[in-house]
Amino acid sequence: MSDTQHYRFQSEQARRLAYQVVDADVREKLLEMAEEYGRYADLIETKAAERMAEAAAR
């Protein structure tokens, strides 16, 4: 599993769990975690695309 896949998986897991918990504070924190994991995955993808573009330009 790549880093991107890992973070997307963790994001989905946190989101699923958030909709199962009753406590609103816990739900909010889990949704924040899901967003953060998604941002990590996006950042990794962006950096990889930049590296590929730089390599192709050489």
Output the pLDDT for position 47.
Answer: 94
Q: How many domains does the chain have?
A: 1
Distance CA 27, CA 30 (A): 5
Contacts of 35 (CB under 8 A, 6+ apart): 11
Domain ranges, residue 53? 3-57
Model confidence over 16-48: pLDDT tens digits?
A: 999 999 999 999 999 999 999 999 999 999 999
Distance CA 52, CA 23 (A): 44
Nearest C-alpha neighbor of 43 from the set 12, 7, 9 = 7
Output the pLDDT for position 54.
Answer: 86
Distance CA 42, CA 38 (A): 6
This prediction's pTM = 0.85
